[in-house]
Amino acid sequence: SLILHSFSDLALVGGGRLLFFARQSAKLCSFNNEEMKLALLISVLIASLCAVEIPVRVKGTLECSHPFHYRIQLLEQDNLSADRIASTEVLKAAGYKGKVAHFDISGTASESKWSILEREVEPLMMIEHDCGVKDYTCICKDFGDVSSSLYETVNISLHMTKLKECKYCLDHSFARAKGAFRLHNDIVLVKDKNQ
């Protein structure tokens, strides 16, 4: 076998083809175990430093023409799913004869540590309620792309809102159908796994 030791070591080998070997390229391929561990550690640290974390706080009121139950969740939208930022329990509206609910919900939205190029989050507020319906409905408020802290006040009249259902409502309707929670009780009901 032919081993060349510098850029000037060139040789013509078989059929006029030029083979070129350089000691420098051999060094690039000869990482030892410790160097590989260090390179991996540095790449993980860089990825974790690049993860986006943005504080999100939404407060306001929900209003209905009669007493109602509700549950609010803050979600961070991703391509495949939504990650929960924060959630309320299932609550009965308090206030003037149970027709107005005051809420204040907060958390930290974070983009995936592997989404190094993304510098924004996409927060969404999902409201599940029984105002004006027999059993349950769901609406969503999208806050768009956010690159710094989000502090919003949102006042919604549930019986007159123009907010619509979103794709995450469907996911939660399946959970409701399986008995994960109900809006008509003051506490969250979790179905017994042994049933």
Query: Per-residue pLDDT for 142 more than 90?
Result: yes
Q: What is the pLDDT of residue 22?
A: 41
8-state DSSP, 39: H
Confidence band, pLDDT 50/70/90 cuts, at residue 41:
confident
Report the predicted TM-score, pTM, of the whole model to 2 decimal places. Answer: 0.64
Q: Pick the closest to residue 92 from 187, 177, 161, 190 (CA basis).
A: 187
50-68 CB burial, b ≥16 within 10 A, e <16 = eebebebbbebebbbeebb
Cβ contact 58:106 at 8 Å? yes
Q: pLDDT tens-digit profile of 98-107? A: 889 999 999 9
Query: Per-residue pLDDT for 79 more than 70?
Result: no
Query: Per-residue pLDDT for 29 more than 80?
Result: no
Q: What is the pLDDT of residue 175?
A: 59
Q: What is the pLDDT of residue 182?
A: 57
- Domain ranges for the chain, please list them: 53-177
CATH 2.60.40, domain 53-177, yes or no: yes
Confidence band, pLDDT 50/70/90 cuts, at residue 117:
low
Of 28 and 13, the structure prediction assigns the larger pLDDT to 28
